[in-house]
Amino acid sequence: MTDVPGAAKGPIIVLVRPQLGQNIGKAARAMLNFGLTEMRLVAPRDGWPNPEAGPAASGADVVLERAQVFDTVQDAIADCATVFASTVRRRDLIMPVLGPEEMADSIGGSAARAAVLFGPERSGLETDEVALANAIVTVPINPEFASLNLAQAVILLAYEWSKRSALAQPPAKELEPPAPHGELQGLMDQLDQALESKGYFHPPSRTRATKNTIRTIFTKTSWSSREVKAVRGIIRALVLPPRKR
């Protein structure tokens, strides 16, 4: 898998009896967005390869090209140490029910292969298939409008996995650090002076309170040095007489 762009060791996505080629393609796209590259298909309804999968994958062809086809779920997960079944909670089975984050946590540190089973679009996984898994994984969803399609379920689980994996870089904070207080003080002095020259502080008995109010307003801005400079330039411009050009 070393030549797969963005590849990382993630769970295998197993689509059980998928119906539409389009949905297989969309699932591949969802996977690769978060660095998952291994797809397995169990008895796809319309055979494999399926010409409708490619266009729906929007470029995630590498996932489709390497997809492996199996006759049964058991064959598909034979080499996997941990298997999750993506489904709603089942009254007919007593097994652990995890959320996406818990699933990602439990895959996280393990070197053994993990797989996630997804059922057919319309009917979902059968009880016997769910029973093959170590745990159910279910996305906590609006109980009055639960309408996740296959690719959406795949993308949410892939996303949670990627957050745990090395692929996920913490978003770089490109924020400039806040300016030192001395610089903010310089800005305040300049503003006080400018306002003074315009007769803003009136009556004199209120001057101190007004200056404190202004200070709290500008102290909470978290402006960087560059931004403090820019604001100083703005104040300078505002107090000038209008320029003619």
Binding residues among 110-139 for its own copies as defined by CB under 8 A: 138-139
Q: Which of 194, 207, 211, 225 binds its own copies (CB under 8 A)?
A: 194
Sorted by sequence, the CB contacts under 8 Å of residue 211 that are 6+ apart come out as: 192, 201
Q: Rounded to 5 degrees, what angle do the CA atoms 143, 146, 150 make?
A: 150
Q: Which of 155, 179, 184, 187 binds its own copies (CB under 8 A)?
A: 155
Q: Which stretch binds its own copies (CB under 8 A): 39-47, 119-127, 179-187, 235-243?
A: 235-243
Contact assessment for residue 122 and residue 174, using Cβ atoms and an 8 Å cutoff: no
Interacting residues with its own copies between 203 and 232 (CB under 8 A): 213-214, 217, 220-224, 226-227, 230-231
Q: Which of 99, 180, 189, 193 binds its own copies (CB under 8 A)?
A: 99
Say whether residue 146 binds its own copies (CB under 8 A). yes
At 196, which helix (H) or strand (E)? helix 181-197
Strand, helix or coil at 31? helix
Contact assessment for residue 217 and residue 187, using Cβ atoms and an 8 Å cutoff: no
Encoded one letter per residue, x for contact with its own copies by CB under 8 A and - for no contact, window 162-191 reads: xx--xxxxxxxxxxx--------------x
Say whether residue 152 binds its own copies (CB under 8 A). yes
Interacting residues with its own copies between 70 and 89 (CB under 8 A): 89
How far is it, in rounded angstroms, from Cα 2 to Cα 5?
A: 8
Specify the residue, 111 or 166, whose C-beta has the smaller distance to its own copies.
166
Q: Which stretch binds its own copies (CB under 8 A): 17-25, 75-83, 106-114, 141-149?
A: 141-149
Specify the residue, 89 or 128, whose C-beta has the smaller distance to its own copies.
89
Say whether residue 34 binds its own copies (CB under 8 A). yes
Amino acid at 128: D
Q: Which stretch binds its own copies (CB under 8 A): 27-35, 46-54, 112-120, 123-131?
A: 27-35
How far is it, in rounded angstroms, from Cα 139 to Cα 57?
A: 23
Residue 25 exposure: Cα atoms within 13 Å on the Cβ side: 15
Q: What is the DSSP string of 214-233?
A: HHHHHHTT--BHHHHHHHHH
